[in-house]
Amino acid sequence: MKVACACFGSVQVFLLGDQMYNRNMEKVCIFIDSGNFYHLVLKKLGLKEINFDFEKFSKFLAGEREIAKEGKRFYVATVREKAGWHENQTAMSNQTTFFSGLINIGNWKIETSKLRTRREKIKIDDRVEGFQGLLKLGIKEIIYERSREKGVDVKLAIDLVIEAIDGRYDTAILVSSDTDIVPAVDLVRSRLKKKVEYIGFSIPESDTYEATKPVKRMIYSTDTQRVLSDLDIKSFIVKNLFVKELGRD
């Protein structure tokens, strides 16, 4: 298989085999997995969604191609209300304002699911660094709350397929490294004859976070791949997009 690579600044574009086509007449839909993007990119760069210009980003991803009607999709888990927790209520209000801003400014379609919280337990044993000191203090276990997004990948996968069936796009631009959606990508490409473009990221490691790298399975499962660096991401930073604080952990 022939592979061609083109570079636009620090952006790498890979085109596989006969997929080197004229992009000017394409219609695209952009699918952004907000949680995946936040944890792999924004959080590691010390940013929140309000510091990122998604509208400018979508135009960059589309380039000269046409973005389909309702072709900008933002998949996100919503903050849940907790009685008596003022910070949580503020986060809910700010998230609603953020969604309204995306809709009003760029006519984004927001697909939401619930952020599920559950209590998890860690037993203190030799698998825990410094466990002996903790045991001497009488600490035998740690109980904490963990929040997980549920259903975002399913909604994205369903829309990816339905929008292909309805002929809304020629190419789906996928901003997600979640391999759970690969079966939907395979279906869209093999059965529905649509192209899928994977947007991966290269963020160097720091003292706090591991490096973010493009996911090989996503690379091999898609037609076109672009890898954006931390410098690329910084070109979309804004001071405050809609609200002062969004409140993600």
- Report the C-alpha gap between 160 and 207 in whole angstroms: 37
DSSP string computed for the chain: --EEEEEETTEEEEEEGGG----TT-EEEEEEEHHHHIIIIIGGGT--GGGB-HHHHHHHHHTTSEEEEEEEEEEEEEPPP-TT-HHHHHHHHHHHHHHHHHHHHH-PEEEEEEEEEEEEEEE-STTSTTHHHHHHTT--EEEEEEEEE-SHHHHHHHHHHHHHHTT--SEEEEE---GGGHHHHHHHHHTS--EEEEEEEEB---SSSPPB---HHHHHHSSEEEEEEHHHHHTTB-S-SSSS-----
CATH superfamily of 3-117+149-234: 5'-nuclease (3.40.50.1010)
Residue whose structure tokens are 């849940």 = 80
Q: Report the percentage of the chain scoring pLDDT > 90.
A: 49
pLDDT in tens, the chain (249 residues): 444 544 444 454 555 444 444 445 789 999 999 989 999 999 999 988 888 999 999 999 999 999 999 999 999 887 555 545 545 666 666 777 788 888 888 889 998 876 555 555 677 677 767 767 767 777 766 765 555 555 688 999 999 999 999 999 999 999 999 999 999 999 999 999 999 999 999 999 888 889 999 999 999 999 999 999 999 999 999 876 655 444 444
pTM more than 0.75: no
Q: Where are the domains of the chain?
A: 3-117+149-234
Which two structure tokens, joined as six digits, stand for 70? 């309702």
Tens-place pLDDT, residues 37-71: 999 999 999 988 888 999 999 999 999 999 999 99
Side chain identity at residue 218, one-letter code: M
Assigned token pair, 227:
């890898």
169 in Cβ contact with 29 (< 8 Å): yes
Name which of 76, 204, 85, 211 is nearest 152 in CA terms: 76
